[in-house]
């Protein structure tokens, strides 16, 4: 009887060990995926706020694309840097805040708020407070392939 209990305890320990390993693996996968998205969101906001077009463009895949409003999409990091520079020139004091990140079946939804003053060349001098969001599809390295977004222009 005692040997049956020992065998049963060993078997239960083994099953529990396998369950813990499997659970830990799936938790680590979720943490890794969430961490990648969170890091991307923080880098994105920091690059805009720091007016660092190179850092911003490096958040994208090398052949990533960016489409703003009704403009034709630009492809590649150099072109993405130029688009970012146009906004930085128009709003040299801009701050972009990461409001939240939401994981959906469509991708990562990045909600943001931009504050700044349009004091660049031909600027209006008006302060802005714009909220928007983008849906990101990330590659395996956590880089953005193509953001799809919208923002409140009021």
In the chain, where the domains are located: 34-151
Phi, psi (5° rounding) for residue 62? -60, -30
Tell which wins on pLDDT, 78 or 10: 78
Q: What is the pLDDT of residues 40-64, one digit of tens each?
A: 888 888 888 888 999 999 999 999 9
Contact status, residue 128 vs residue 117, Cβ threshold 8 Å:
yes
pLDDT band with cut points at 50, 70 and 90 for residue 15: very low
Measured CA to CA, the distance from residue 7 to residue 89 in angstroms comes to 73
Contact status, residue 117 vs residue 125, Cβ threshold 8 Å:
yes
Q: Which fold has domain 34-151?
A: Nuclear Transport Factor 2; Chain: A, (3.10.450)
Mean pLDDT over each residue of the chain, to the nearest integer: 78
Contact status, residue 55 vs residue 47, Cβ threshold 8 Å:
yes
| pLDDT higher than 70, residue 19 | no
What is the average per-residue pLDDT within 101-129?
A: 90
pLDDT for 146 equals 87
């Amino acid at each position: 009887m005692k040997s049956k209990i020992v065998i049963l305890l060993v078997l239960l320990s083994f099953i529990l060990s396998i369950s813990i390993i499997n659970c830990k693996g799936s938790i680590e996968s979720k943490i890794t995926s969430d961490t990648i998205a969170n890091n991307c969101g923080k880098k994105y906001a920091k690059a805009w706020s720091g007016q660092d077009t190179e850092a911003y463009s490096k958040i994208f895949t090398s052949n990533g694309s960016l489409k703003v409003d009704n403009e034709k999409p630009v492809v590649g990091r150099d072109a993405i840097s130029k688009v970012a520079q146009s906004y930085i020139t128009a709003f040299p004091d801009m701050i972009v805040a990461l409001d939240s990140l939401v994981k959906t079946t469509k991708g990562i939804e990045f909600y943001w708020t931009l504050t700044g003053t349009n004091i660049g060349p031909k600027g209006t001098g008006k302060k802005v407070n714009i909220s928007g969001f983008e849906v990101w599809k990330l590659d395996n390295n956590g880089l953005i392939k193509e953001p799809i977004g919208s923002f409140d222009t009021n």
